[in-house]
Structure 1
Amino acid sequence: MTTPPSAAPAGIPGSRPYEPDLRHHGDAEVRGADAALTDLAVNVRTDTPPAWLKARIAASLDGLAAYPDGGPARAAVAARHGLPPERVLLTAGAAEAFVLIARAVRARRPVVVHPQFTEPEAALRDAGHPVERVLLTERNGFRLTASEVPETADLVIIGNPTNPTSVLHPAAEIARLARPGRTLVVDEAFMDAVPGEHASLASRTDLPGLVVLRSLTKTWGLAGLRIGYVLAAPETIADLERAQPLWPVSAPALAAAAACSEPAALAEAAEAARQIAADRDHLLARLAEIRTPDGRKIHVTTPAEGPFVLIRLPDAAAVRTRLRTLGFAVRRGDTFPGLGPEWLRLAVRDRPTTDRFTEALSKALTD
Structure 2
Amino acid sequence: MYVHTDSHDLRHHGDAEVRGASLTDLAVNVRADTPPDWLRERIAASLTRLAAYPDGRAARAAVARRHGLPVERVLPTAGAAEAFVLIARALPARRPVVVHPQFTEPEAALRDAGHEVTRVLLREEDGFRLDPAAVPDDADLVVVGNPTNPTSVLHPAALLEKLARPGRTLVVDEAFMDAVPGEREALAGRMDIPGLVVLRSLTKTWGLAGLRIGYVLAGPETIAALERAQPLWPVSTPALAAAEACMSSAALTEAARAADRIAADRAHLLAGLAEFEEVRAVAEAAAPFVLVRIERADEVRERLRGLGFAARRGDTFPGLGPEWLRLAVRDRVTTNRFLQALDQALALVGVSSGPGGGPEPARPLPL
Range of TM-score over shorter length: over 0.9
Q: Distance in 2 between matches of 1:350 and 1:60?
A: 32
In the alignment, does 2:321 pair up with 1:340? Answer: yes
Q: 1:313 aligns with which of 274, 290, 294?
A: 294
Match of residue 12 from structure 1: none
Q: 2:96 aligns with which of 107, 110, 117?
A: 110
Match of residue 355 from structure 1: 336
Q: Distance in 2 between matches of 1:173 and 1:2?
A: 20
Structure 2 counterpart SS, 1:144: coil
1:335: Cα distance to partner? Answer: 0.1
Structure 2 counterpart SS, 1:122: helix
Match of residue 160 from structure 1: 146
Q: 2:186 aligns with which of 200, 206, 216?
A: 200
Q: Distance in 2 between matches of 1:105 and 1:255?
A: 28
Q: Is the 8 A contact 1:5 1:132 kept in 2?
A: no
1:256: Cα distance to partner? Answer: 0.2
Q: Distance in 1 between matches of 2:289 and 2:49?
A: 37
Deviation track 1:264-319 (CA, whole Å, cap 9, x = no partner) reads 00000000000000000000001111233xxxxx1100110000000001000000
Q: 1:32 aligns with which of 5, 20, 24?
A: 20
Equivalent AA in structure 2 for residue 76 of structure 1: A
Q: Distance in 1 between matches of 2:323 and 2:144?
A: 23
Q: Distance in 1 between matches of 2:303 and 2:315?
A: 17
Equivalent AA in structure 1 for residue 2 of structure 2: T
Instruction: Report how many aligned residue pairs link the two structures.
Output: 348
Structure 2 counterpart SS, 1:272: helix
Q: Distance in 1 between matches of 2:273 and 2:3?
A: 33
Match of residue 4 from structure 1: 4
Structure 1 counterpart SS, 2:194: coil
Q: Distance in 2 between matches of 1:139 and 1:174?
A: 20
1:2: Cα distance to partner? Answer: 1.6
In the alignment, does 2:164 pair up with 1:183? Answer: no
Match of residue 120 from structure 2: 134
Equivalent AA in structure 1 for residue 340 of structure 2: E
- Kindly report which structure 2 residues correspond to 1:257-268, keeping only aligned pairs within 5 A, or say none: 257-268=243-254
Structure 2 counterpart SS, 1:20: coil
Match of residue 276 from structure 2: 290
1:32: Cα distance to partner? Answer: 1.5
Equivalent AA in structure 2 for residue 114 of structure 1: H
Q: Is the 8 A contact 1:326 1:360 kept in 2?
A: yes
Structure 2 counterpart SS, 1:225: coil
In the alignment, does 2:37 pair up with 1:51? Answer: yes
Q: Distance in 2 between matches of 1:109 and 1:83?
A: 30
Q: Distance in 1 between matches of 2:340 and 2:133?
A: 42
Q: Distance in 1 between matches of 2:56 and 2:20?
A: 35
Q: Is the 8 A contact 1:5 1:131 kept in 2?
A: no
Structure 1 counterpart SS, 2:204: helix
Is there any run of 5+ residues in structure 1 with no aligned partner, and where?
A: 7-18, 293-297
Structure 1 counterpart SS, 2:12: coil
Equivalent AA in structure 1 for residue 69 of structure 2: L
Structure 2 counterpart SS, 1:5: coil
1:146: Cα distance to partner? Answer: 0.7
Q: Is the 8 A contact 1:291 1:362 kept in 2?
A: no
Match of residue 233 from structure 2: 247
Deviation track 1:40-92 (CA, whole Å, cap 9, x = no partner) reads 00000000000000000000000000001000000000000000000000000
Match of residue 15 from structure 1: none
- Kindly report which structure 2 residues correspond to 1:28-107, keeping only aligned pairs within 5 A, or say none: 28-33=16-21, 36-107=22-93
Equivalent AA in structure 2 for residue 111 of structure 1: V
1:4: Cα distance to partner? Answer: 2.0
- Stretches of 4+ aligned residues off by more than 3 angstroms: none
Identical-residue share of aligned pairs (%): 76
Q: Distance in 1 between matches of 2:86 and 2:111?
A: 13
1:145: Cα distance to partner? Answer: 1.0
Is there any run of 5+ residues in structure 2 with no aligned partner, and where?
A: 349-367
Structure 2 counterpart SS, 1:116: coil
Structure 2 counterpart SS, 1:280: helix
Equivalent AA in structure 1 for residue 215 of structure 2: Y
Q: 2:311 aligns with which of 322, 325, 330?
A: 330
Q: Distance in 1 between matches of 2:287 and 2:215?
A: 20
Q: Distance in 1 between matches of 2:161 and 2:187?
A: 8
1:5: Cα distance to partner? Answer: 2.3
